Structure 1
Amino acid sequence: MNSTLFRDLGIDGVDPGYIILGLTVVLLIVIILLIVQISKTSKLQKKYAKFMRGKDAKSLEKEIVGLYEDNRFLKTTAEKNKSDIKNIYKRLESAFQKVGLVKYDAFQQMGGQLSFSLAVLDENDNGFIMNSVHSAEGCYSYTKEIKQGQCSLTLGDEEKMALDMAMAKP
């Protein structure tokens, strides 16, 4: 086939069937790429439609800003709560948390177990023992200081029992 167009392109010696076959292959490749792009665009449009469902661009922006502000508020509140909890735990260390009570009869002639030993301790086993002795002449109370579970004074049997009861508590 003698064509000036083929001659100008420099392909005048090539069989036109090969040219048509080559163009058909290129066209098929372009069609396949077009189908892939249409598929990707369709998926993207579905995601966009789902994302924007019921929203316009301005309200979506307000939503995002609102969520950001809520997040910032929650972070600030969480930090404050963490600080407050640490402060509460620190204060609780010195608060009385453990109690041991032993009631007893101080004298044979007195009944009803009106006498008692009361041990009150904090988390570090510091506190006091209060002993109240009831007799026919009156009621007498005294305390003994406890430091780290020990008393510098001699403890009576009931006082030891009350201290052991208090220290056994977690």
Structure 2
Amino acid sequence: MNIADYLGITLDYAVIAIAVLMLLVLILIIVMIVNVVQMKKLKKNYRIFMDGKDAKTLEDTLIKRLDQVDTLLAANDENAKNIERLFANMKFAFQKVGLVKYDAFHEMGGKLSFSLALLNETNDGFIINAMHSREGCYTYIKEIVDGNSIIVLADEEQEALDMAMKSNSEE
């Protein structure tokens, strides 16, 4: 008695079943070869990654890098606070300048007299007026609050004030 008779199938079905099983075995062999190749690549990459390092030194390196990140984050926060403080202080610094040179007494020549306006962000500051004559140089200062002076300004002083108020308005 042969195997086909024992299993109760005809020879044609037995050949087909054996062919299907052989095909299945071939597919499994191909899948196994692909897995072996991928595993070798993975092992090679792992060896490269771990080359010269043991798990302890790798852990130390990671801890060191994380500490550096924490330090950088703290420094970044400190820098942000410093920048805010600088911008707050800049409001009070003189940012706007206007300078007009003129000849105060028309007999001197050379435009040795000047009006200098210095203003902060809110147009508060002062105007220095220096008038040069043959007898000497006379200096006056006038306070500016919100772009205006309580004391009447001379033409040159008003021109310097206007120049200062326009000097930062283009930004």
Pick the TM interval, shorter chain.
Answer: 0.7 to 0.9
Amino acid at match of 1:39: V
The two structures have a TM-score, normalised by structure 2, of 0.80
1:13 aligned to 9, 30, 34, which one? 9
1:113 is the counterpart of 2:115? no
Judge conservation of contact 1:117–1:162 (CA < 8 Å) in 2. Answer: yes
How has the CA–CA distance of structure 1 residues 112 and 17 changed in structure 2, closer, same or farther, with 3 Å as cutoff?
A: closer
For residue 149 of structure 2, give the secondary structure of its aligned residue in structure 1. Answer: coil
The 2-side partners of 1:14 and 1:26 are apart by 21
The 1-side partners of 2:155 and 2:48 are apart by 77
Judge conservation of contact 1:106–1:133 (CA < 8 Å) in 2. Answer: yes
Instruction: Identify which range, 110-119 or 94-103, moves more after superposition.
Output: 110-119
Amino acid at match of 2:84: K
The CA RMSD over aligned residues, in Å, is: 2.4
Instruction: Identify which range, 107-116 or 24-33, moves more after superposition.
Output: 107-116
1:27 is the counterpart of 2:25? yes
Partner residue, 2:42 = 44
Instruction: Identify which range, 148-157 or 133-142, moves more after superposition.
Output: 133-142
How has the CA–CA distance of structure 1 residues 34 and 45 changed in structure 2, closer, same or farther, with 3 Å as cutoff?
A: same
Amino acid at match of 2:9: G
Judge conservation of contact 1:2–1:12 (CA < 8 Å) in 2. Answer: no
Moved over 6 A (4+): none
1:153 aligned to 140, 148, 151, which one? 151
How has the CA–CA distance of structure 1 residues 146 and 14 changed in structure 2, closer, same or farther, with 3 Å as cutoff?
A: farther
The 2-side partners of 1:144 and 1:14 are apart by 120
Partner residue, 1:66 = 64
The 2-side partners of 1:73 and 1:155 are apart by 55
Aligned pairs, how many? Answer: 165
Amino acid at match of 1:118: L
1:32-75 per-residue CA deviation (whole Å, 9 max, x = no partner) reads 22022113212322332332233222221111111111111111
Q: Which runs of 5+ in 1 are unaligned?
A: none
The two structures have a TM-score, normalised by structure 1, of 0.81
The 2-side partners of 1:25 and 1:134 are apart by 110
Amino acid at match of 1:130: I
Q: Which runs of 5+ in 2 are unaligned?
A: none
Instruction: Identify which range, 16-25 or 122-131, moves more after superposition.
Output: 16-25
Partner residue, 1:82 = 80
How has the CA–CA distance of structure 1 residues 2 and 112 changed in structure 2, closer, same or farther, with 3 Å as cutoff?
A: closer
The 2-side partners of 1:153 and 1:19 are apart by 113
1:116: how far off?
2.0
